[in-house]
Structure 1
Amino acid sequence: MATPRGHASLAEQVEELLATDGPLPIVAAGDPVLRRGTERFDGQLDPALLARFVEALRVTMHAAPGVGLAAPQVGVGLRIAVIEDPAPVPEEIRVARGRERQPFRVLVNPSYEPVGPARAAFFEGCLSVPGWQAVVARHAQVRLTGEDEYGRPVDEVFSGWPARIVQHETDHLDGTLYLDRAEPRSLSSNEAMARLWTQPTPEEAARALGFRLP
């Protein structure tokens, strides 16, 4: 549950963040803001400030680079996230992981529920946990509901890698990091990932490191 704060204080916090140009600082694991959960967005930022904040999230996500960024990752406890995935991967990886290009979009007050029992496990990383990746088993397909930045309803089914992205970012809004759902024995440095685990699926890593896949 988020710590209650007035609308003015949140707006002031965002204004202060946006006072300098360029990407926003990304909060790393260990900061309480990543564990508190977030306030439902209900107009704490006026439309102009919300638009500026969304653009700053986009710029920061691109600069990192990443395929998603949630407001708590820049220190703001609001239920807002952005996603975008150009999916610049080889065809073999794209097919194995169900990775499809996702245009830029804003998720406001999102929540998800599984569609069917299928789960998929792949290595996953996080901008707030730099330098490491681990295998996470997630729902292969989810129904995402919420709104966009204009208050229009969102009710959409995501599959494959896009489903993984929306689960990861929505989890951030609930104070959950991907490590909470990860297979501990799979934890690998980025250097080990580049040297050992570049295969389309984590099956070889599971055999070598001694963990089970769903």
Structure 2
Amino acid sequence: MHLQIVRLLEWKIANHGKRFINISNKRENSFRKVYKEFWSPKLINKPPYEHFTQVGDPVLRTKAAEVPGELVNSKEVEHIVEKMIKVLRKFDCVGVAAPQIGISLRIIVMEFRDGLKDILPKPVYEARKMCTLPLTVVINPTLTVTNYEKHKHPEGCMSVRGYSAEVERFHSVLLKGKNLKGIENEVELSGWNARIAQHEMDHLDGKLYIDRMDSSTFICTCWETVNVKSGRVEIPFYK
């Protein structure tokens, strides 16, 4: 999720290449073999990426596969998570789901840094009920709504770069799942952090915020600059 002020058993590879990993009862390529293929020296860039996949990429519209319990604390999964954290911080965002770096697995990473309080306008920070969220890694997460009150705020996504829209989200949720050590954890989230969790969980089910948005509020976040610069504006997909 982009913060905007206005913002494994055996495996079978299917569909659009090795990013799509589904559990299979057949004796086929193991997870580790598939994983190593990600890193074989080829000219074509392979996931996990160090950029965000963009809307239109089939990986964003596919329900991600669960990570089998025996592989939760594997080196392969650990490396994927390290990539997710790197991308999260590289692009200064607050949440990332594995499909966003090209890996169709049910993993999310979230972090709302304390320093954002000094960057965001105080009225915005308070109105959107923002607060610090330490780095949180959740594997095979499940989400339960604990407060059905809804709030509508502008929301952006690094996989729909350069745009935002208002989206209704539930006020409070309970997020459960395993950490990298395979320990089951749960965290109660409310306000903006609950929004981050709902946004990232949508990614694991092949959904984007544009599926939930108030379409009348959908905007290009740099429309004013486009006018001032006579259209000479670039929306970068790198950093």
Q: Scaled by the length of structure 2, what TM-score is found?
A: 0.72
2:61 pairs, out of 35, 43, 53, with: 35
What is the deviation of 1:64?
Answer: 1.6
Is residue 2:207 matched to residue 1:176?
Answer: yes
Q: Is contact 2:129–2:192 with CA below 8 Å preserved after alignment? A: yes
Q: Give unpaired runs (5+ residues) of structure 1.
A: 196-214
> Which residue number corresponds to residue 74 of structure 1?
101
Aligned equivalents of 1:35, 1:186: Cα separation in 2: 23
> Which residue number corresponds to residue 156 of structure 1?
187
What is the deviation of 1:45?
Answer: 6.9
SS of equivalent to 2:158: coil
Aligned equivalents of 2:58, 2:224: Cα separation in 1: 28
| AA in 2 matched with 1:62 | R
Is residue 2:76 matched to residue 1:52?
Answer: no
Is residue 2:212 matched to residue 1:188?
Answer: no
Give the number of equivalent residue pairs.
192
Q: Is contact 1:10–1:45 with CA below 8 Å preserved after alignment? A: no
> Which residue number corresponds to residue 200 of structure 1?
none
Superposed CA deviations along residues 53-74 of structure 1, whole A, max 9, x for unmatched, are: 2111111111122111111011
Aligned equivalents of 1:156, 1:56: Cα separation in 2: 23
What is the deviation of 1:16?
Answer: 5.2
SS of equivalent to 2:189: strand
| Distance change (3 Å), C-alpha of 1:162 and 1:46 | closer
What is the deviation of 1:12?
Answer: 2.8
> Which residue number corresponds to residue 4 of structure 1?
22
Aligned equivalents of 1:9, 1:97: Cα separation in 2: 45
| Distance change (3 Å), C-alpha of 1:91 and 1:13 | farther
Q: Is contact 1:123–1:134 with CA below 8 Å preserved after alignment? A: yes
> Which residue number corresponds to residue 204 of structure 1?
none
What is the deviation of 1:157?
Answer: 1.6
Q: Give unpaired runs (5+ residues) of structure 2.
A: 1-19, 24-29, 227-239
> Which residue number corresponds to residue 51 of structure 2?
25
> Which residue number corresponds to residue 11 of structure 2?
none
Q: Scaled by the length of structure 1, what TM-score is found?
A: 0.80
Aligned equivalents of 2:73, 2:141: Cα separation in 1: 19
- In the TM superposition, what are the counterparts of 1:59-138 in structure 2 within 5 Å? 59-86=86-113, 87-88=116-117, 89-138=120-169
* Greater helix content: 1
Aligned equivalents of 2:59, 2:170: Cα separation in 1: 26
Shifted more, 47-56 versus 142-151: the winner is: 47-56
RMSD: 2.6
| Distance change (3 Å), C-alpha of 1:193 and 1:84 | farther
| AA in 2 matched with 1:4 | N
| AA in 2 matched with 1:36 | T
| Distance change (3 Å), C-alpha of 1:158 and 1:178 | same
Shifted more, 36-45 versus 103-112: the winner is: 36-45
